[in-house]
Structure 1
Amino acid sequence: MLFAKALRRTGMALLPLALALSAAPVAAQDDAMTAIAIPDQPAAIPLGTGTLPGAAAAESWHMQYGSRFARNVVQATLTPFLPDPAKATGAAVIVAPGGGFRTLSMDNEGWDVARALADRGVAAFVLKYRLNQTPEALEVFANWRPEPRPAPATPAEALAALQPQLEDSRAAFALVRSRAAEWGVDPDKIGMIGFSAGARLTMATQEGVAEARPAFLGNIYGPMNAQAVAADAPPLFIALAVDDPLFPNTGFGLVESWRDAGRPVEFHYYEQGGHGFGMYPKTTTSTGWFEAFAAWLRMHGFIANAG
């Protein structure tokens, strides 16, 4: 079963915005969206993939759940978070935040993840990929529901639906490899980790961008449906909570696909955590996913030299 069938089973393309953005990691009073100025991002590198076709609304940002979110991203960037040279292991990760392809959770699923990876000696690169357009006014967006769209009928259609984002992912891998010596990166140790929609992009990159060649994959509360697995597919790490509202009854086809293909896969299924737990401090054991991911990278030799 390929990516198109995954879309049909999860219904992710048809989810209401409230679910697509659901995280509910902190107090209810933080749920409201508050407009903020676009933060300075002096280290962000334009990826040169162009302006999102047909874009009318300009990029904007807001606070929610105590975290910063980007919206209406029309030009992609990549922001490096490099480790102390004394800790550097040569491993690198492209980090893809989630948000239903309508927002990007830049703190919780982007910059905070990248800082934690850099502290482990892993060069991290936060991908601010282009997003589907949403209403420009935040007060309209807060209650907006997109028009339902039919799920792609074929794997090719499923990948085509993510064409701008896959172009951004392709450019991100190309940029890191082109500057690998400068950044202290081993070109054969560049992986990708994604959260929710970012996990969907991560798996689509593995499936549809041959030149990316990720050395490992991290799927954090992303779609769990089966997909075709190549004989040389990279190791896959998966983390999901039992009480995730987006993927409650979709099975474990993704885990089984990797296992049945004889490829390395590790799956953490947390009793509690909901959707969007990311780097938020919580009392649930899902908070331990990052330590588990770091241990998994060490087991596979990617951060064997970390300090």
Structure 2
Amino acid sequence: MRLKFVLAALPLLLAVPAFGQTAPPPGAFRFAELAAPDQKDAIPLYTGVAPGSDPAALPEQWLSINGDAVVRNVTRPTITAYLPDPKKATGAAVIVAPGGAYYMLAMQLEGWNVAQWLADHGIAAFVLKYRVDATPRSLPEMQATIGRRMGDLLSRPRTVGDVPVAYFPPAVADAQAAIRLIRARSGEWGIDPDRIGMIGFSAGAMTALAATLANDPAARPAFTGAIYPPMNSAEVPADAAPLFVAIAADDGLFGGRGFGLVQSWQAAKRPVELHYYEKGDHGFGVGKPGTTSAAVMDQFRLWLETRGLLKPAK
């Protein structure tokens, strides 16, 4: 992998609005247990439990955080298809990688909502439920851990490129397995195997970027959307996929830290587009009402269209 792995300094990438420059007050993250949704249409990426996982030690759990469904302790990674009406289908597909600090996945805010929007606009979408780092069984202990790490990150001075670029290798392996699976079954779903891309949010953006920069042509996305990722520079190969980046200037985690990621794509002479919104904060998902970030999905779709990625195969 070409992205630097600094798991020990993993920043908190929760898909909820950040709390400015100070640590969040106790209880700011409202967690509650949630019944697991019906996952009968989820397609496993592996036979049984994923390599190295132990569901008995830390079973998967669904939670509500500030009203949105999230999942933690994933040991059986899956994709769930959101297919467009055949009359509207473009033949393009996007794997949707939710964020959540590599502690959990914001399945509703940055998964299902995004996939449904894409399907409504003729783009096949697959929500990726990927492996994340294990969190304690105790909900109060998990909440306290996340609160501490959020506070640590938000208390740091804002310096260009000072957030370590970290990724969780099992998550990247799951993204690559998803690309291979969708390519293998592309005919079944009416998808062009050469037009399978990814869009990721926060930690999901880091996962998408790691898959994009990996030296594995069979498991690389054809295009990549990185929504509020860390903006650090990266080593970009000469054949890197086109990149779409969107972030808000008032992003409480990654805003105001430069544009090294975009500049790296430019230095490699690879296509890149940046949308830098005045307001939107971190975790705006398909767009925060009342801000220009509300146009993010329309702009992503238009970017795909102008690149010729949404032309139905003849």
- TM-score tier, shorter chain, comes to 0.7 to 0.9
The residue that corresponds to 1:194 in the other structure is: 200
Number of the residue aligned with 1:164 = 170
In 1, Cα distance between equivalents of 2:278 and 2:301: 20
- Percent of aligned positions with the same letter in both sequences? 48
Q: 1:280 to 1:36 in 2, by over 3 A?
A: farther
Cα distance, 1:298 vs structure 2: 0.8
Per-residue deviation, 1:52? 5.6
Please give the TM-score of this superposition, normalised by the length of structure 1: 0.86
Q: Which amino acid aligns with 1:140?
A: E
Is residue 79 of structure 1 aligned with residue 77 of structure 2?
no
Partner of 1:43: 41
What aligned pairs does 1:110-125 form with structure 2 within 5 A after superposition? Answer: 110-125=111-126
**d(CA) in 2 for partners of 1:65 and 1:75?**
25
Q: Tell me the distance in 2 between the aligned counterparts of 1:51 and 1:289.
A: 33
Q: Secondary structure, in 3 states, of the residue corresponding to 1:142?
A: helix
1:300 to 286, 300, 307: 307
Residue type at the aligned position of 1:299: T
Equivalent residue in structure 2 for 1:13, among 5, 9, 15: 9
Paired with 1:140 and 1:67, the residues of 2 have a C-alpha distance of 20
| 1:51 counterpart letter in structure 2 | A
Q: Is the 8 A contact 1:83 1:121 kept in 2?
A: yes
Distance 2:229 2:195 in 1: 23
Q: Is 1:213 matched up with 2:220?
A: yes
Contact in 2 for aligned 1:97/1:195 (Cα 8 Å): yes
- 2:274 is the counterpart of 1:267: yes
Output one character per residue of 1:27-50: Cα deviation in whole Å (capped at 9) or x when no partner.
x99841111111111210010073
Gaps of 5+ in 1: 149-157
Q: Is the 8 A contact 1:206 1:213 kept in 2?
A: yes
On the 8 A contact 2:91/2:311 being kept in 1, the answer is: no
Aligned pairs for 1:132-147 (under 5 A) are 132-145=133-146
Does residue 228 of the first structure (1) align with residue 235 of the second (2)?
A: yes
Separation in 2, partners of 1:62, 1:165: 20
Structure 2 counterpart of 1:242: 249
SS of structure 2 residue aligned to 1:111? helix
- In the alignment, residue 128 of structure 2 is paired with which amino acid? L
Runs of 5+ unmatched residues, structure 2: 20-24, 150-164
Alignment partner, residue 53 of structure 1: 52
Contact kept in structure 2, 1:206 and 1:214, CA below 8 Å: yes
The offset of 1:139, in angstroms, is 2.6
**1:208-250 Cα shifts (integer Å, max 9, x gaps):** 2512131110000011111122222111100001111111343
Report the Cα distance in structure 2 between the residues aligned to 1:244 and 1:12, rounded to whole angstroms: 23
Partner in structure 1 of residue 96 of structure 2: 95
Task: Return the TM-score normalized by structure 2.
Answer: 0.84
Structure 2: distance between partners of 1:112 and 1:214: 21
Query: Given the superposition, is the C-alpha separation of residues 176 and 209 from structure 1 closer, same or farther in structure 2, using an over 3 Å criterion?
Result: farther
Shift of 1:195: 0.3
Q: Deviations over 1:182-229 (max 9, x none)?
A: 100000000011000000000100112512131110000011111122
1:12 Cα deviation after fit? 9.0
Q: Deviations over 1:150-206 (max 9, x none)?
A: xxxxxxxx88x6321122112101110111001000000000110000000001001
CA distance in 2, matches of 1:83, 1:108: 20
More divergent stretch after superposition (167-176 vs 226-235) = 226-235
Q: Show the counterpart of 1:155.
A: none
1:108 and 1:280 in contact (8 A); partners too? no
> Residue 40 of structure 1 aligns to which amino acid in structure 2?
D
Equivalent residues of 1:227, 1:254 under 8 A apart? yes
Report the equivalent of 1:276: 283
Instruction: Output the CA distance in 2 between the equivalents of 1:229 and 1:123.
Output: 27
Distance in 2 of aligned mates of 1:281 and 1:254: 23
Q: CA RMSD in A?
A: 2.6
1:26-83 Cα shifts (integer Å, max 9, x gaps): xx99841111111111210010073362542111011123211011111100101111
Q: Distance in 1 between matches of 2:171 and 2:209?
A: 12
Whether the aligned pair in 2 keeps the contact of 1:166 and 1:209 (CA below 8 Å) is no
